[in-house]
A = this chain, B = another copy of it.
């Protein structure tokens, strides 16, 4: 059995639902064979979110950690490639903090790359008939913050753990006018399951392009 930790976020920005947590819960109901799945809901609060994540990593004994967040407006599931050492909040977090141009970790490196097999994860979702691609920015709000916090934790003391971040689209109910992309919670959960399976079973990532021209 491989211990896997899957995290989502609580709702934010006025929405009553966060697709990341809805999909994580649904995916956890039927884990892939050979995987012991633990879940955690992270608060939309700078630094508290990382503290909660560290506890969850500790408690779960996770060998693989996949953090999940909402990327409203993106047209598919995106597996993030790189976390940057920057908080720049367009809106306040749930405790009212709104850091602008501050590092996630003072003195930390400018960035960390994901240690998930990102190309294999994308391929697994696409093999399931669902839209996915690699992304090269997780933004500068809570998602990137947690992603950087995770990779810093791994780099500074848990070398055996592999980890990364996945962004998921809006749910249809969050886009009443239908003018932005969205995806059913069932499809998002299937995508997360495919990613967890790929992360657990892939030792060397695929050597195929997932690049962006810009």
Residues on A lying within 8 angstroms of B by beta carbon are 13, 69-76, 78, 81-82, 84, 86-91, 98, 100-101, 109-113, 119, 122, 126, 128-141, 143, 167, 171-173, 175, 177-187, 205, 207-214
Contacts and interface: CB of A to CB of B under 8 A. Distances in A.
Contacts of A136: 84, 86, 137, 139-140
Contact of A172 (B88, B129, B141, B171): B129
A182 B76 contact: yes
Contact of A184 (B70, B100, B130, B173): B130
A171 to B, nearest CB: 8
Q: How many copies of this kind of chain does the complex include?
A: 4
B75 A82 contact: no
A137 B182 CA distance: 21
Contact of A111 (B75, B82, B171, B185): B82
Contacts of A208: 100
Nearest to A183: B131
A111 B84 contact: yes
The 4 closest A-B pairs by CB, nearest first: A133-B178, A88-B211, A111-B111, A71-B214
B212 A141 contact: yes
A211 B141 contact: yes
A162 to B, nearest CB: 16
